[in-house]
Structure formats: C-alpha cells, structure tokens
Amino acid sequence: MLEGLDSFEKKSTRNCVFISLVFEKMEYLVLLQNGLVVLLTIAFSWKLITYMWGSLKMEKEPMKVLVTGAAGQIGYAIAPMIARGIMLGPDQPVILHLLDIAPAAEALKGVKMELLDAAFPLLKEVHATTDVTEACKDVNIAIMLGGFPRKEGMERKDMMSKNVPIYKEQASALEEHAASDCKVLVVANPANTNALILKEFAPSIPEKNITCLTRLDHNRALSQIAERLKVYVTDVKNVIIWGNHSSSQYPDANHATVATTNGERPVKELDTNDHWLKNEFINTVQQRGAAIIKARKASSALSAASAACDHMHDWVLGTPKGTWVSMGVYSDGSYEIPKDIIYSFPVKCEKGKWSIVKGLKIDEFSRAKMDATAKDLIDEKEVAHSCLN
Ligand SMILES: NC(=O)C1=CN([C@@H]2O[C@H](COP(=O)(O)OP(=O)(O)OC[C@H]3O[C@@H](n4cnc5c(N)ncnc54)[C@H](O)[C@@H]3O)[C@@H](O)[C@H]2O)C=CC1
Ligand SMILES: O=C([O-])CC(=O)C(=O)O
C-alpha cells in the first residue's frame, strides 16, 4: 500500500494512520466514559428512589394500648388481635399496657409471656401490671374489660354494684395519666352506664372520646340477616343498634341493605315477612348474650374481642363510604334521645372522629322501642349513682 512513496511520505502516512487510530481509540474512550456516566446516574437515581420510598414507608410511632381485665377471657382473646394489627392496622406498631388485679397477677404474667413468645412483629413492648397509675401512663387507646362478667340468670345491670365503683376509680387514673386525646372503649357491663360513670369522673377527657361497645350487637344483627337471607355477612350493611347494651336494646333493620347483582336492596324489600323483623330478629339479637352464656357457661369472649377491635378500628381508621356502624356515645339529643346518657346510635367515622348519622326516618314502632331503651338507661344511671353513695 505504501509502495512508490518516498521515506518521508511513508513516515507521514504511518503517523497519520497512527494518529487516526489514536483518535478512534479516544472515541471509544469517550463512549466508554459516557456509558459510565449513564450507569452512575442510573445507580444514583435508583439509590435516591429506594431511599425516598424507604423513608415514606418509615415505621410509625408505636401507639400505647391499655387493656384492663387483661387476664380475663376477653383479654386473652383480644391481646393477640391487637398485637397482630387487627385493631389499629397492619402498619401500626403497638405497646401493650395490661392491667388486672393482684389475685390475677400470675395469670397476667402468663399472658405477657405468651405474647412475647408469639414474636408479633408489631408488638414493641408489653407492660403487665396491677398498678392502675402505671397502666394508664400516656396511653392513646383504652380498652376497658376489667370487671365481673354476668352469670346465667343475671341481667347485665346486676353487676352494677361491683363494676360501677371500678369505673369511678379508673376514670381518675385515666384522667390524670392517659394521653390527652386518649380514645376510651368500655366493654365491661353494664357497658353504657360504666362509660357514663367514667365520663363523669374524668371531666377533662373530651366526652367524644368516651364510648361503649354495642358493635357486638351490631355484628350479631348483620349475621342474623345474612343467615335469614342466605347471603354473605359482608353483603349486609347499615343495621342499627339503638340504646342500651342490654335486653332493652333495639336492633333496627329498617334502613339496612343487602348488596345484590341489581345493586343495594333494602332488607325489608327482600324479607317481606315483617313479623320476623319485628319479633324473632329483635329477640334473638337482644338475647344472644344470654344464649351464649347458657351454651358456654361463660359469656361471649371471642366475638366480644373481635367486635371491640372493629369498634376501635373504624373509629381510628374510618368507616367505609356509605356504611355506618353502631357505637355507644354520649347523647347530644339527636333523634330526641335525652342528653346525658351513653346511648347507641348509628355513626360514621372519619379521621379519628365519629358523628351520628342524622335524618333517618323513624316510624312509630321504632320510636317506642328507642324511647324504652333510653328509659332503661336513665333508670340505670340512677342505680349507678346510688352504688357510689
Ligand atoms: N359490651 C359487650 O358487648 C360485652 C361485654 N362483656 C363484659 O366484659 C367484661 C369482661 O368479660 P370477661 O373477659 O369475659 O370477664 P373475665 O371475668 O374473664 O375477666 C375480667 C377480668 O377483669 C379483672 N378485673 C376485675 N376487677 C378489676 C379491676 N378493678 N381492674 C382491672 N381488672 C379487673 C378480673 O380479674 C378478670 O381478669 C364483663 O363485664 C362482661 O360482662 C362481655 C361480652 C360482651
Ligand atoms: O351477655 C353478657 O353478659 C356478655 C355480653 O355483654 C354479651 O355477650 O353481649
């Protein structure tokens, strides 16, 4: 190829070839360098994205949950539910404060040991104590189970003389030591009246933060309708438990609906047997607690624990759109129910707050039943006050 060229030309040509080879290599180098820059940028962006995602998913602060009567049967059922996130959600760490009385201290220790042995990822600490002050310290949620359960043949108000004084004492401990926005759920019977006593003796806890459990009755009503109409319980919604968690409660299916392939249909339209809704349905729900005591020789525990989780879950995290639930709350006079009693109403919850569902049509049959259960609560209030004198 270089034939015919003189030595100078040959040298220059060789140099040119050499230089062009160098340039060619340099182009490769630049390409390589650009490639490296792109790779580094991708790696850096990936790191940034995963870091930001990680900080978004950062663990929430644990919530402190008090369970009184924690060595009892509902306590034993509810503690693992709370520790598994069933009450406050699957991303909410919890610290459990378990309270019981001195004679139950050993059993309480056993509950704590089992909770630790279960290695629940959300359970950050367990404090088991018989000291009410220590138990109430900074708690955000209080589930009040402590007290005596009813036995066969008793009405729930028969436990008044034993349980009401406990609620007076524990009200003061909560008032002094709980977090200022602590949400309280009273389960121990008579639940509405114990909650009212707690409210009276803890005046600095906002009245909206003191509630009682009627969700068990609500769930029982949903399940009775589901059984009757042969549908899934998740298809039924918007039953109402009015009033007292006692045999005077009024389970009301007038506004309840069932999800069908043709949309939501009123229960009353699907079950045209008005007699069942006005008699057997109401009686079964009113007497379900007694029926369970008769069968088990002990009062409901797993369903009560589950309902307490449902109550607190919906209160903290909200009710689904278009759905209401029943909660025992301080009456504001809605539906002409007297004020100053804890009465079960239909409520919706949003952003940690409940509000009574307003404007539902009340027929004569319902009116009489709603008033009767309000009267039962007014009578209970009087007896409760006499227990404290
Ligand atoms: N509202 C509702 O829907 C329901 C309410 N209940 C009521 O819940 C309550 C608890 O029921 P169970 O767990 O079955 O009873 P349980 O007798 O098994 O447990 C109650 C626990 O409370 C403890 N206790 C007693 N006095 C206490 C105090 N001053 N402070 C702390 N703890 C104390 C007892 O030592 C016992 O461990 C009962 O009053 C029962 O009638 C039960 C089912 C449903
Ligand atoms: O009936 C009882 O005493 C326990 C209770 O409150 C229930 O199961 O509804």
- Each residue's pLDDT tens digit, 141-154: 999 999 988 888 88
Distance of CA 116 to the CA centre of its chain: 22
Burial 129-158 (b: 16+ CB within 10 A, else e): bbebeebbbebbbbbbbbbbbbeeeeebbe
Rounded to the nearest 10 degrees, what angle do helices 73-83 and 302-317 cross at?
A: 40
Which ligand has the minimum distance to the alpha carbon of residue 213? 1
Contacts of residue 336, defined as CB under 8 A and 6 or more positions apart, other chains included, come to none
Residue 50 pLDDT exceeds 80: no
301 is in an annotated binding site: no
pLDDT of residue 48: 66
69 is in an annotated binding site: yes
Task: Tell me the C-alpha distance between 125 and 95, whole Å.
Answer: 5
Task: Tell me the C-alpha distance between 376 and 331, whole Å.
Answer: 14
Contacts of residue 335, defined as CB under 8 A and 6 or more positions apart, other chains included, come to 345, 360, 362, 370
389 is in an annotated binding site: no
Task: Tell me the C-alpha distance between 366 and 209, whole Å.
Answer: 28
Q: Is 101 in the pocket of ligand 1 (CB under 6 A)?
A: yes
Structure confidence by residue, pLDDT tens digits, 237-296: 999 999 999 999 999 999 999 999 999 999 999 877 889 999 999 999 999 999 999 999
Check: CB of residue 103 under 8 Å from CB of residue 139: no
Task: Tell me the C-alpha distance between 286 and 279, whole Å.
Answer: 11
Residue 25 pLDDT exceeds 80: no
| 189 Cα nearest atom in ligand 1 | 39
Alpha helix (H) ranges present in 149-190?
A: 160-177
pTM: 0.87
Task: Tell me the C-alpha distance between 30 and 40, whole Å.
Answer: 15
CA of 105 to the centre of ligand 1 (A): 15
Residue 6 pLDDT exceeds 90: no
Enter the tokens of residue 355.
């509000």
Average pLDDT over residues 117-121: 98
| 300 Cα nearest atom in ligand 2 | 8
Residue 1 pLDDT exceeds 60: no
E strand or H helix at 194, and its extent? helix 191-200
CA of 144 to the centre of ligand 1 (A): 8
224 is in an annotated binding site: no
CA of 72 to the centre of ligand 1 (A): 6
Average pLDDT over residues 15-43: 71
Specify the residue with its C-alpha closest to ligand 1, atom 1: 187
Q: Is 166 in the pocket of ligand 1 (CB under 6 A)?
A: yes
Q: Is 129 in the pocket of ligand 1 (CB under 6 A)?
A: no
Ligand 2 binding site (Cβ under 6 Å of any ligand atom): 149-150, 156, 189, 216, 289-290, 292-293, 299-300
Specify the residue with its C-alpha closest to ligand 2, atom 3: 150
Check: CB of residue 279 under 8 Å from CB of residue 287: no
Residue 337 pLDDT exceeds 60: yes
Kindly report the CA angle at 198 between 92 and 109, in degrees rounded to 5? Answer: 55
Tell me the percentage of the chain whose pLDDT exceeds 90: 79
Question: What is each CA distance from 221 to 17, 71, 251, in whole angstroms?
Answer: 93, 29, 7
Residue 2 pLDDT exceeds 60: no
Task: Tell me the C-alpha distance between 199 and 243, whole Å.
Answer: 17
Region for residue 359 given its phi and psi (left: phi exceeds 0; alpha: psi -120 to 50; beta: otherwise): left
What phi, psi does 96 have (nearest 5°)?
Answer: -95, 130
| 156 Cα nearest atom in ligand 2 | 3
Enter the tokens of residue 182.
């602590």
Sign of CA dihedral 257, 312, 281, 222: positive
CA of 279 to the centre of ligand 2 (A): 20
Within the chain, what is the greatest distance between any pair of CA atoms? 129
Structure confidence by residue, pLDDT tens digits, 174-195: 999 999 999 999 999 999 999 9
pLDDT of residue 9: 67
Burial 20-29 (b: 16+ CB within 10 A, else e): eeeeeeeeee
Task: Tell me the C-alpha distance between 84 and 93, whole Å.
Answer: 9
Residue 374 pLDDT exceeds 90: yes
- Among this protein's residues, is 218 annotated catalytic? no
Q: Burial level of 1, CB count in 10 A (0-12/13-18/19+)?
A: exposed
Q: Is 305 in the pocket of ligand 1 (CB under 6 A)?
A: no
This complex has an ipTM of 0.99
156 is in an annotated binding site: yes
Residue 199 pLDDT exceeds 90: yes
Closest alpha carbon to 237 in 229, 225, 249, 228? 225
Rounded to the nearest 10 degrees, what angle do helices 364-388 and 160-177 cross at?
A: 80
Residue 156 pLDDT exceeds 90: no
CA of 290 to the centre of ligand 2 (A): 7
Which ligand has the minimum distance to the alpha carbon of residue 159? 1
243 is in an annotated binding site: no
Average pLDDT, whole number, for the chain?
Answer: 92
Q: Is 74 in the pocket of ligand 1 (CB under 6 A)?
A: yes
Choice among 245, 255, 311, 313 that is catalytic? 245
| 299 Cα nearest atom in ligand 2 | 4
